[in-house]
Amino acid sequence: MLARLASPRTGGLAALALVVLLLPLALRNNYYYEVAILVGLNAIVCVGLNLLIGYAGQISLGHAGFFGLGAYASAILTARYGWPPLAAMAAATGGVAVLAYLIGRPILVLRGHYLAMATLGMGIIISIVIANEDRLTGGPDGMAVPPLSLLGYRLAGERLWYWVVGALLVFAVWLAQNLVESPHGRALRALHTSEIGAEVAGIDSARHKVRVFVISAVYAAFAGSLTAHYAGFITPTKVTFFHSIELVTMVVFGGMASTFGAVVGAAVLTTLPQALTLFEEYEMVVFGAVMMLTMIFMPKGLVPTIAARFPNRRANE
Amino acid sequence: MSAQFLQFFLAGLTIGAIYALVALGFSIIYNASHVINFAQGEFVMIGGMTTVSLTAIGWPLPFAIAAAVLAAAAIGLALEKFAVEPARGASVVTLIIITIGASILLRGLATLVWDKKFHALKPFSGDAPIGIGGATVLPQSLWVLGMTLVIVLLLTWFFGRTLLGKALLATSHNRLAAQLVGINVRTVLLAAFGLSAALGAIAGILVAPITFTAWDIGVMLGLKGFAAAILGGLGSGPGAVLGGLVLGLLEAMGAGYLSSAYKDVIAFVIILAVLVFRPSGLLGTRSTDRV
Amino acid sequence: MVLRSVLTAFAALWLGTLQAQEPIRIGSFLAVTGPAAFLGDPEQKTLELYVEKLNSAGGVLGRKLQLFAYDSAGDAEKARTFAKRLIEQDKVDVIVGGSTTGETMAVVPLAEQAGVPFISLAGAVVIIEPVKKWVFKTPHTDRMACDKIFVDMKARGVSRVGLISGAGGFDKSMRAECLKVSKNHGVEVVADESYGPADTDMTPQLTKIRQNPQVQAVLNAGFGQGPAIVTKNFKQIGMIVPLYQSHGVASKEFIKLAGEAAEGVRLPAAALLVSDKLADSDPQKIVVARYRSEYEARFKSDVSTFGGHAYDGLMLAVEAMKKAGSADKARVRDALENVKGYIGTGGIVNMSATDHMGLDLSAFRMLEIRKGDWTLVK
């Protein structure tokens, strides 16, 4: 059993669960809990996005679009049509999955920068539509969202949400790890290395690319729904190109092809702006400089670079 | 009806010319280094803002413009030297993040060096609208179109006739082969960044009298320039120009005839459709991968 | 002997520190960077300047003021997080902030739940309608702007108007309000165009409006640089009907950007912009003239109405604390609700349990731009 614990996969998961369990000791007030919850929500999106960018080697500069669709669908169904929140979340996530499939099929034929542009365009289209349809979405000023309730019991308050998000994060990471080790995951890694080679070996690259695209979209939409219900409010800022870039940065910064890297990246880049408020006017300069310097000197990202210093452990978990 | 069409057409052409210049900047850097420089839009901003500051303290316009272009080129060189060169060999996504970080840094510096307000630049030759067939066009628009044409011609001459230009082209076709015939690839890379920055700055200066300039105008222009470069086919100079003009016209026609609220959506949907049917853009060559 | 004096000194010091009480904490989240920096930048400067001035004059209730200001960059979620930080971590007594409606609305539930008086600096009427116990605001509402404009239009014989607005929250909110109240004034909106947030050429949209023979005047419900471009395009394509702008462009920036095209444009704005043209008998003259000279002296840039709203917010909070005799949140809230006849840069404020803004239509002045400067329309 100790040997299993030492393996990067279960060991890592156990470490994450331990962090989630023990973190509240360091969280002094609701503001700290809020930041922790935001980290968790971003981490869920990043874990999914990492499957697409890190393992499958694709790129998406529009994932905030899926996040936003999940959030708004959930918000609109509960606020305007009175659906029960859990049903709305399920419908939102399912709807986004279908949409991701329909969008993914034609655009995943594209490669490299062309794919980047296509996902960028997709994200921008989604954000403009959401911002313009103000009768449905409240427009640029956003809309209020009813809180999540389970069997009549309202989920409110930072502490409760912390445990919910923490548990869901651990689950999301476990799921992602299983995916990576599954035949689907191996196919993805194969086509990342060489798409032609993988196809020669009999892998239907188009099908796998679409599948991971949909999975990462589902992660994003689910996190979006949760965010909407947690904050009680949603605005189109979460759907913009800037947020998409933030997400990609978290994944790349933390370490691509590393699920824990995605979590670490989300943690650092969500808390960094809070710490940078000290710098006030210089915040943007410092943020940009941090991004550039870490990418120049640690091009593989934080976790793989650190893990590479411990040669006994596999560097990509 | 046709006066209205002409009005939309001229509006689209003007903004399209600006997109074309920005797209050319993307293309030149991409050709030389296979890097997409997401900080390209910031050069547009630097050009405009520097010119505004210098004319405000009394410099004559031509000197202010020259100084602004040089300043932008210098920053472009610095970007290549300190951000792109050390990261040689990193993955596509990493390089994207680096240039995005650079654009955030430059914008942050802009708020410190200048301010967060909008600034207008005096039009080069006055404000009196010129009537053409029922439509009106600003003299500055004519400057934009004219200068873009001049620049495109200059670039054609540069790439076709000068040694540095040909070296740039050679590097974009095959880096190793270029090195083997003695081309200093490092210099070429620096030149590419400097040239792109200068192009961006010129675009920013040309358009500042019409659209005003501020610390964050680079973001949208950079994005649209990138879209135009992709639409025309990444790496193709004529493609960049065509992509820019087409994008500008799509926006203006979309706003005029369909829906002004959704004109960006219309433009992007069409770009996506083009990409689906021609994955390498309008004029891009189909690339072949070595297996 | 020596011991006695040392002990006395010690005792004096100890008592002295007991008397130097906790500072009064003022919290603020503003859009200092980002697309609404136009608003947040002068707001933050104003708050910093006046907290400093108040402190050097001895503070409020014998206590110093301490300002906690964060940059929410126009992002509602950042605003929420910073508001939580202000409430939970910095433990502020009152919040004066929220440059945009989106950011304000995201924070309203927090203020209500935590019971912290929140004076918003944003425009939309939805902030105070329906009235929320702990939420107040200082700027005029967008609905008031529409009312003021339509009244002026009617006085000029205009009854059919073409609307053009941008994509931002301010624009859309004002457009919706204008569409709602136009009938009340006997005005009909016969054209409705819009432009994007970073658009640089509105001639297509204006051309469409010009083609419409019914249009007798044009109203641009916008904010930022869009309206300046609209104004220039308006002149470029030779439109001669009256052009009205919103209070969103009430600053010299707009005139500088639009240049000669701004001649003849009308807009509703706070008296602050025409402080030098007010009659000496005007009750607002002293307040606006003083704010203007102090702001311009310190920051060497033109005063803006948005900074004025921040000034009003801070001064109202201070006034409420003085009336309540403490910084206790509930008492300050009650005092705020009962402010009567308070003269601010935005107008004369009369709050009540059903009106948490306290301004009426007379607080708006109709201005016309002539020769690059504001003039009052009588």
Domain annotation covers residue A265: no
Residue window 143-172, chain A: list those with CB within 8 Å of chain B: none
Asked whether residue C278 carries a pLDDT value surpassing 90, the answer given is: no
The DSSP symbol for B117 reads: S
Asked whether residue C4 carries a pLDDT value surpassing 70, the answer given is no
* pLDDT value at B286 more than 80: no
Q: Is residue A61 part of a domain?
A: yes
Q: Collapse the DSSP code of B95 into the 3-class scheme (helix H, G, I; strand E, B; otherwise coil) and give the result.
A: helix
Q: C88-104 burial, b for 16+ CB within 10 Å, e for fewer?
A: bbeebbbbbbbbbbbbb
**Model confidence pLDDT, tens digit, residues C180-220:** 999 999 999 999 998 887 788 888 889 889 989 999 999 99
**Is residue B287 in a domain?**
no
Chains that contact C by 3+ CB pairs under 8 Å?
A, B
Question: Using beta carbons and an 8 Å cutoff, which residues of A are at the interface with C?
Answer: 28-32, 34-35, 38, 128, 131-132, 134, 139-142, 144, 231-233, 235, 237-238, 273-274, 277, 280, 283-284
Which residue in chain A is spatially nearest to B92 when comparing CA positions?
A: A112
Higher pLDDT, B126 or B269: B269
Q: Is the residue at B291 inside a domain?
A: no
CB A155 within 8 A of CB A148: yes
Closest chain C residue to B129 measured between Cα atoms? C236
Q: What is the pLDDT of residues A59-109, one digit of tens each?
A: 899 999 999 999 999 999 999 898 888 899 999 999 999 999 999 998 888
Chain A, window 212-241: residues with a beta carbon less than 8 angstroms from a chain B beta carbon: 241
For residue A213, which of A43, A97, A45 has the smallest C-alpha distance?
A: A97
ipTM over 0.90: no
- The per-residue pLDDT for A169 is 94
Identify the pLDDT of residue A315. Answer: 47
Name residues of chain A where pLDDT drops below 70: 1-8, 311-317
Chains A & C: contacts with CB separation below 8 Å: 78
- Closest CB from C198, C205, C236 relative to B220: C198
Amino acid in position A224: G
Query: Given this model, what pLDDT does residue C223 score?
Result: 85
Q: Is residue B238 part of a domain?
A: yes
**Mean per-residue pLDDT, B199-211:** 91
Torsion angle of alpha carbons B172, B174, B178, B184, nearest 10°?
50
HSE, CB side, 13 Å, CA atoms: give it for residue B275.
31
CATH number at residue B238: 1.10.3470
Total domains, chain A = 1
Which pLDDT value is given to residue A8? 64
CA A46 to chain B, closest CA, distance in angstroms equals 15
Domain extent for B191: 2-277
Residue A220 lies in domain: 29-240
The residue in chain A having the minimum alpha-carbon distance to the alpha carbon of residue C101 is: A141
Q: What one-character DSSP code corresponds to residue A109? A: T
pTM across the whole model: 0.87
pLDDT of residue A15: 86
Minimal Cβ distance to A141: which of C84, C109, C169: C169
Per-residue pLDDT averaged across B62-72, rounded? 94
Mean pLDDT of chain B: 87
Range C114-130 average pLDDT: 92
Residue ranges and CATH numbers for the domains of chain C are: 22-140+286-363 (3.40.50.2300), 143-269 (3.40.50.2300)
Domains of chain B: total: 1
Q: How far is B41 from chain C (nearest CA, A)?
A: 13
Average pLDDT over residues B105-119: 88
Give the closest residue to C241 by CA, choosing from C220, C215, C261, C259: C215
pLDDT per residue as tens digits for the range C280-289: 888 899 999 9
Residue B52 has pLDDT above 70, yes or no: yes
Q: What size, in residues, is chain C? A: 378
Query: Which tops the pLDDT comparison, C122 or B171?
Result: C122
The mean pLDDT value of chain A amounts to: 87
Look at residue B6 and tell me whether its pLDDT is greater than 60: yes
| Within a domain: B272 | yes
Over pLDDT 90: what percentage of chain B? 32
Nearest CA in chain C to A139: C169
With CB atoms and an 8 Å threshold, state whether C88 touches A31: yes
B196 within a domain of the structure (yes/no): yes
Answer whether residue B30 is part of any domain: yes
Those residues whose C-beta lies under 8 Å from the C-beta of residue A1, and which sit 6 or more positions away, are: none
What phi and psi, each to the nearest 5 degrees, are found at residue B36?
-95, 115
251-280 in chain A: CB under 8 A from chain B: 252-253, 256
Q: Across residues C58-68, what is the average pLDDT? A: 92
Residue B93 and residue A196: Cβ atoms within 8 Å? no
**What's the residue count for chain B?**
291
Produce one character per residue of A210-229: b if its CB has 16 or more CB atoms within 10 Å, e if not. bbbbbbbbbbbbbbbbbbbb
Query: Is residue B247 one of the residues assigned to a domain?
Result: yes
Of B94, B264, B269, Cβ closest to residue A252:
B94
- A118/B226 touch (CB, cutoff 8 Å), yes or no: no
Asked if B107 lies within 8 A of A284 by C-beta distance, the reply is yes
Query: What sign does the dihedral A170-A172-A175-A181 (CA atoms) show?
Result: negative
Inspect the interface and report whether the beta carbons of C205 and B260 lie closer than 8 Å. yes
In a domain, B52, yes or no: yes
Contacts of B108 in chain A (CB under 8 A): 282-288
d(CA A60, CA A230): 26
Structure tokens at C253: 């920036």
